[in-house]
Amino acid sequence: MARELRLLAPTSLLGAGFRFESLRTAMAWQPDVMGCDAGSTDPGPYFLGSGELYFSRDAMRRDLEHMLLAARGAEIPLLIGSAAAGGTNAQLAVAVELAEEIAAKHGLHFRLGVVSCEPPRDYLRRSLSEGRIRALANAPDLDEAVLERSENIVAMAGVEPFHAALDSGADVVICGRCSDAAIFAAVPTKEGFPPGLAWHAGKILECSAACVVQRKYADPLFAWVRDDCFVVEPPNPDYRCSPVSVASHTLYENGSPYELVEPSGTVYSDESTYEPVSDRAVRVAGSRFAAAENVTNKLEGAELVGYQAIVIGAVRDPVIIRQLDSWLEGVRETIQSKAEGIFGAAAVEGMTLTVRRYGIDGVMGPLEPTPSPAHEVCLVIEVTAASQKIANAVAKAAAHVAAHYAVPEYSGLITALALPYSPPELPRGPVYRFTLNHVLEPADALDPFGLELIDL
């Protein structure tokens, strides 16, 4: 009889939720492995830089509790990747704490493998000097100073650390930053299924039911991986997959639909075929994998830019909107000189003051093809400074200046800005930027990673 491995992805991102009923249906289909992605660079550099969570701890606990109970009940491995948000050690620790809390609450006993993905800085410095770190397309410049000033740097794990954890007897693996597809490719590749199919199935599963014809909310996806194909089907009866909907998923947030570069090689889907098995299940075959000579791990880093406070306000008067550019120029100069007056030129050096103009070009910026103002324009005044105290103080001044800045056509004091919030300034805390778009080529595939085993 042909062998088969059944993979279940309950949701697209730990904390995004799923219907319990769908999980129950999926468990009746007897999965061999359950996996879940728990992070991304998608929400921007804040989560990697700060180590804060993307979804709330409560939302993550809700999903993890259902998953752990189901996976331990069926005695199948549960693999969690990119925990939680950026994959930093701080975020990983939160996911591990949640697993420990849930295990204690329900009296679950299992071996937990924890894979950390923050290589020590001296290891990264050495790798850089040894030429083991290479730039990817559009990468910013990298030197030791960048490594130094980045708040957090993570290496993206492939299947190798998952294999190491499973080989050490882990029932549940929680990994820091990792390839989304690796979470689901880990067991099939370990058991010798064709890597092209294993990785391609992983790429489709990592977003759970995103590959259905009409996704309304996050919900599970199920896959049967065999030696000559894999089949995907959503357990939710309201969802269905079609050949086009599944093929379309290789497009999603991916530079090319034909090649997915993963740590241990490249998946090619240019010869993949997508055929209906039923009106809701699709069979995929023909995906190939070219193993890389050496494993490479993508590096991601984020550095602190400063501290920010913003003011949101809107202009409705057509007379002001007509001359918005020059009016804003005056507002900006006045705020700058007020800030210097309060804190001194030195303290506000490096402070940036920008104004986004929604209703004109807030979304596209200088690329906006039709920058003609709407009948009302929303202004977001952003102050980024060396401390939150300065940012807040300048934002307070900015709200006042902009609210009452003169318009040449009018004599007498006016209020030019509709401010929806009291107080008008909103402290935003630290802001970060991405610093790395590079790959590390470690001497051994496990070098950048740490593995800890916890028996619960």
**Pairwise CA distance, residues 303 & 149, whole Å:** 6
Beta strand pairing call for 78-85 and 33-39:
parallel
**Pairwise CA distance, residues 380 & 376, whole Å:** 13
Q: Least separation, in Å, of the C-beta of 225 and another protein? A: 19
Q: Least separation, in Å, of the C-beta of 215 and another protein? A: 12
Q: Give residue 380's identity as a one-letter amino acid code.
A: V
**Residues forming the site for another protein (CB under 8 A):** 40-46, 82, 136-140, 156, 179-181, 203, 243-244, 247-248, 250-263, 272, 274, 296, 298, 305, 352, 354, 356, 362-367, 369, 384, 431-434, 437, 439
Q: Closer CB to another protein, residue 22 or residue 435?
A: 435
Q: Least separation, in Å, of the C-beta of 297 and another protein? A: 9
Q: Closer CB to another protein, residue 251 or residue 453?
A: 251
Q: Least separation, in Å, of the C-beta of 158 and another protein? A: 10
Q: Least separation, in Å, of the C-beta of 68 and another protein? A: 24
Spatial neighbors of 300 by CB under 8 A, at least 6 apart, are 41, 48, 86, 87, 153, 154, 156, 177, 434, 436
Q: Closer CB to another protein, residue 62 or residue 356?
A: 356
Q: Closer CB to another protein, residue 395 or residue 416?
A: 395
Calculate the alpha carbon distances from 219 to 56, 63, 160, 208, 232 in Å. Answer: 18, 11, 28, 6, 13
Q: Closer CB to another protein, residue 140 or residue 237?
A: 140
Q: Closer CB to another protein, residue 301 or residue 424?
A: 301
Q: Least separation, in Å, of the C-beta of 305 and another protein? A: 6
Identify whether the C-beta of residue 185 lies closer than 8 Å to the C-beta of residue 194: no
Q: Closer CB to another protein, residue 61 or residue 438?
A: 438
Provide the total of helices (H) and of strands (E) in the chain, helices listed first: 13, 20
Q: Least separation, in Å, of the C-beta of 307 and another protein? A: 13
Spatial neighbors of 10 by CB under 8 A, at least 6 apart, are 18, 22, 23, 26, 34, 36, 63, 66, 67, 70, 208, 220
**Pairwise CA distance, residues 429 & 426, whole Å:** 9
